[in-house]
Structure 1
Amino acid sequence: MQSNMNRRGFLRLSAGAAALASFSWTASHAGASKRPNVVVIVSDDHGRGDLGCYGNPVVQTPHLDALAAEGVRFTNAFCTTASCSASRSVILSGLYNHYNGQYGHEHSYHHFRSFDHVRSLPVLLTQAGYRTARIGKYHVAPEEVYRFDVALPGGSRSPVRMADNCKAFVASGDAKPFFLYFCMSDPHRGGGKAADLPHEPDRFGNRDQGYPGVKEVTYDPEEIVVPDYLPDIPECRAELAQYYQSVSRVDQGVGRLIEVLKQAGQYDNTIVIYISDNGIAFAGAKTTLYEPGMNLPCIVRTPWQKNKGIACDALVNYADLTPTILDFAGATPGDYEFHGRSFQPVLERRHADGWDTTYASHTFHEITMYYPMRVVRERRFKLIWNIAHGLEYPFASDLLESATWQGNLKRGNTRYGRRTIDAYLHRPRFELYDLQNDPHEVVNLADDPDHQARLNEMKARLKAFQEQTKDPWILKWEYE
């Protein structure tokens, strides 16, 4: 849900409007002989600043850079919740997770699950005549809600092999268009500590024997770009070097998948979307709704794009993905409501009027990490409502144990990047930031008398968002 929300409410489409959406696709892309295939590629914990096409001078992502050169790169794309399962539920439903029920992790004892009434993207596309397949990380439940026609085999840390395992599905002689949901576990933390390296960084999935078809790209910690929200200490540089290596593996998987599409003769009729589920797995990004946690890479390549290689500044979020893909497919249902809206109309624009506000809603990561936050973000100002502000900010287990966080503590540092450790752990009820003058979100204006009118206006917008998306946590305005 974006700007003009008080006028629009939910995206409401009658059967006639749905028919119009289908007609619009046909008219706009009359050169296409059939409905487009759609491939959605989701990486795990990949930050926006860690691709060449987004300005990183060190990390090697030539395939993603080439994809961006063929399409559009969004500079203001946001997840709505910086947690794996919860974010993926939004991607596949077009609904904020406070409404779809996937409040946090699906796996193990966390056991969060979406409500049965949710009609997900793969189910809607199947009903519209698409073949649907998923491969790699799934991480949502129940399967009846997020049902694909087929689950393809392939370890989610081996992206080139994953791409090869998609060949038969992509090259099928079936006349139906297809939807492929391709989800890697890189560059998520994992694989243990690299005890043979200085500072014993997390491996980020890297291993000595490598992965089939992948030419591992390694990085010198001294050459790493340390973002301002992280501490520039040797432990952090060592971990970022491992993270970069994992990002380059992601890139090679994307390159191989595009090659598979081309070899099958499908690339010229396929929409490719690349996103990350949330920010990088470091304190200050993942699990937070500060900019590094929610402002993410989003690259969209369509076969009919004329204005190629552009950067679009529209504020889009992951609740918009399902409506956009259904719009591409001419498959928008006439009897169902989404929280997002299609961003297909802005794909040829560098600047998009009417896309000036976005929202976020985070409640859990792990089951032990209850810390609900709601956010309204405009182009310049951002308001975070920390509903559980009386609690110390909770840590994901892997972030707490990370060499970066522990190394910073052992050094006796009182700051973590631009923010003090105390400010990171103990947050006020409201955080209001001027992103133009304070892009690092460290000067809280919520108690500034000169900004009270703006604070009250943004609080009102946040309440309206909660009302219109049926957020149960709206009660907290009165009770806490």
Structure 2
Amino acid sequence: MLKTIQALLVVTVLVFTSCAEKKAPEQVVKKQNQPNIILFVADDHGTDALGCYGNEVIKTPNLDQLAAEGTIFKNAYCTSASCAASRSVILSGKFGHATGSYGHVHDYHHFSTFDNVKSLPVLLEQDGYETARIGKYHVAPETVYHFNTVLEADPRNTVEMADKCGDVLNSDKPFFLYFCTDDPHRGHPFEPDPWNAPNSFGNKVEGYDGVETVVYDPKDVLVPSFIPDTKESREEIAQYYQSISRIDQGFGKLMKMLQETGKADNTIVMYISDNGMAFPGAKTTVSEPGIKLPCIIKDPTNSKKVSTNNAMISWVDLTPTILDMAKVSYNEKDFHGKSFKSIVSEENPKGWNEIYASHTFHEITMYYPMRVVRSNNYKLIWNIAWRLDYPFASDLWASSTWQSIYRNNIEYYGPKKVKDYMFRPEFELYDLDKDPNELNNLAEEKSFEEVLETMKSKMKTFQQNTRDPWQIMWSHDSSMQGTGVNL
């Protein structure tokens, strides 16, 4: 009897071993079919300064080439026009108000994501991806936003950054490369001397190794409609352009290296920015120049292609989209965003006509929570702390662009009165089709009462669905607060 049982056990082991050996090749094939993914994130780059988005002055040939080979999204939005808050959303698929990522991570700001959040790089690593990051990180804690490989290079020199990525591009495993520049963020020192000198935007007179310095004449730059057309503005925009041309060269270098690996046909490349240009009226606001951003996607694994996509997408959609593209299974309920993989190759997909934004802090001294819903052509902004002065980021306050208006007591900053920039109403309602500069607030007009109530209802539902603590400000319902007692 004992010999019979032993024989059966041997046969069982052999059967399972045989099955495992037969399935192994299928598992290998599955991994080989997973695409590589590069997510290239610029710092404070708006749609105003890219050739493929209509700027005929700035030189961005490599990014323009990506657009020619891929798809430009015309209505792509971050959820918060602040670096750290935006990046937490990019890598988590959740709004910052629900993850504790209310503002900046570094120094005394110290906002940090809850430790139970499962981030994009962690989920990709669990499915067999090599995950690597280089450049600006600006999220915390590392245990939540963990990458297998951390590469070091000057984040202002994208050519140098690209050079350091060779081993990742040649990885035996499918890879996810998170490539984040410091450009075109304003450079230190933020406070110029004299006050009317332009910020450097990271540019140096001696330039950077391996990078051709591209200089712009201030008289040639295109001044966005929300910025005053002054000598100071033009000089700063010229520096901003120069920083972006440096990004473009590093991007071109990275694409050349990718091509040389032979993996370009199985690598999805995305170019985005964390928020809009670092000028008052864009960065740290929820105005269109602050949150409506470049998004270019080239997916060679998709045989269908359109040059332009008009869907409204959000950075909260990026994590589920990338997981979907990587063929990694996930629970849709784990994210606030949704995958747009299936509509990348459609020009006007149905059902993609609404986005939400949520900003609370930039620096810790800049408490000014705002919530936004954009639905079709209408946009509602709720300035929750509207009785406070609108706060300034330290670098934007010190900018010569702002100081040229402030020091001279000029009434207007661009098309908007300075007092209207500094003091906001509780609700702002705009028809973006008729009023793209967001100057005519319809919230107080009787003929738009129904639209206002509809948009408020959408906002409340959004806040409830994403467990926004600031929903308490509608009714002072304290159910979100808990007991304050550790049980």
Structure 2 equivalent of residue 415 of structure 1:
412
**Inter-CA distance 336–309: structure 2 relative to 1 (3 Å threshold):** closer
Does the 8 A contact of 1:32 with 1:269 survive in 2? no
2:458 paired with 1:461: yes
Instruction: After TM superposition, give the deviation of residue 193 of structure 1 in Å.
Output: 7.0
> Whose helix fraction is larger, Structure 1's or Structure 2's?
2
Counterpart pick for 2:389 among 389, 392, 397 = 392
Q: Distance in 1 between matches of 2:103 and 2:187?
A: 19
TM-score (norm 2): 0.90
**Inter-CA distance 267–418: structure 2 relative to 1 (3 Å threshold):** same
Instruction: After TM superposition, give the deviation of residue 305 of structure 1 in Å.
Output: 3.8
AA in 2 matched with 1:340? G
Structure 2 equivalent of residue 344 of structure 1:
341
Structure 2 equivalent of residue 141 of structure 1:
140
Q: Distance in 1 between matches of 2:375 and 2:444?
A: 19
Instruction: After TM superposition, give the deviation of residue 178 of structure 1 in Å.
Output: 0.5
**Inter-CA distance 276–260: structure 2 relative to 1 (3 Å threshold):** same
Does the 8 A contact of 1:271 with 1:300 survive in 2? yes
Q: Secondary structure at the match of 1:324?
A: helix
Does the 8 A contact of 1:69 with 1:308 survive in 2? no
**Inter-CA distance 197–252: structure 2 relative to 1 (3 Å threshold):** farther
2:473 paired with 1:476: yes
Structure 2 equivalent of residue 158 of structure 1:
157
Structure 2 equivalent of residue 48 of structure 1:
47
Instruction: After TM superposition, give the deviation of residue 275 of structure 1 in Å.
Output: 0.3
Instruction: After TM superposition, give the deviation of residue 169 of structure 1 in Å.
Output: 1.7
Instruction: After TM superposition, give the deviation of residue 458 of structure 1 in Å.
Output: 0.4
TM-score (norm 1): 0.91
CA deviation profile, 1:305-346 (whole Å, cap 9, x unmatched): 444461100000000000000000111324861000111111
Instruction: After TM superposition, give the deviation of residue 418 of structure 1 in Å.
Output: 1.3
Instruction: After TM superposition, give the deviation of residue 165 of structure 1 in Å.
Output: 0.3
2:365 paired with 1:368: yes
AA in 1 matched with 2:247? V
2:107 paired with 1:108: yes
Q: Distance in 1 between matches of 2:475 and 2:248?
A: 47
Does the 8 A contact of 1:69 with 1:309 survive in 2? no
Instruction: After TM superposition, give the deviation of residue 412 of structure 1 in Å.
Output: 2.9
Q: Which residues of 2 match residues 3-402 of structure 1 at below 5 A? A: 34-172=33-171, 174=172, 176-192=173-189, 199-308=196-305, 310-334=307-331, 337-402=334-399
Instruction: After TM superposition, give the deviation of residue 304 of structure 1 in Å.
Output: 2.8
Does the 8 A contact of 1:199 with 1:238 survive in 2? no
Does the 8 A contact of 2:190 with 2:399 survive in 1? no
> Which fold has the larger relative contact order, with Cα–Cα distance below 8 Å and residues 6 or more apart in sequence?
1
AA in 1 matched with 2:183? D
Does the 8 A contact of 2:190 with 2:398 survive in 1? no
Q: Secondary structure at the match of 2:296?
A: strand
Instruction: After TM superposition, give the deviation of residue 198 of structure 1 in Å.
Output: 11
- Structure 2 gap ranges (5+): 1-25, 478-487
**Inter-CA distance 308–196: structure 2 relative to 1 (3 Å threshold):** farther
- Structure 1 gap ranges (5+): 1-25
Q: Distance in 2 between matches of 1:32 and 1:232?
A: 53
Q: Secondary structure at the match of 1:132?
A: strand
Shifted more, 373-382 versus 331-340: the winner is 331-340
AA in 1 matched with 2:342? P
Q: Distance in 2 between matches of 1:337 and 1:198?
A: 48
CA deviation profile, 1:15-69 (whole Å, cap 9, x unmatched): xxxxxxxxxxx9xxx9995210000000000001210000011111100000011
AA in 1 matched with 2:34? R
**Inter-CA distance 198–394: structure 2 relative to 1 (3 Å threshold):** closer
AA in 2 matched with 1:338? F
Q: Distance in 1 between matches of 2:195 and 2:266?
A: 48
Does the 8 A contact of 2:134 with 2:161 survive in 1? yes
Q: Secondary structure at the match of 2:294?
A: strand
Instruction: After TM superposition, give the deviation of residue 197 of structure 1 in Å.
Output: 10
Q: Which has the larger radius of gyration?
A: 2
Q: Distance in 1 between matches of 2:248 and 2:194?
A: 24
Q: For this pair of structures, how many residues does the alignment match?
A: 450
Q: Secondary structure at the match of 1:368?
A: coil
CA deviation profile, 1:355-409 (whole Å, cap 9, x unmatched): 0000000000000000000000022100000000000000000000000000122
Identity between Structure 1 and Structure 2 (%): 54
Instruction: After TM superposition, give the deviation of residue 239 of structure 1 in Å.
Output: 0.2
Structure 1 vs Structure 2 CA RMSD: 1.9
Q: Distance in 2 between matches of 1:196 and 1:477?
A: 45
AA in 2 matched with 1:78? Y
**Inter-CA distance 336–462: structure 2 relative to 1 (3 Å threshold):** closer
**Inter-CA distance 426–272: structure 2 relative to 1 (3 Å threshold):** same
AA in 2 matched with 1:475? I
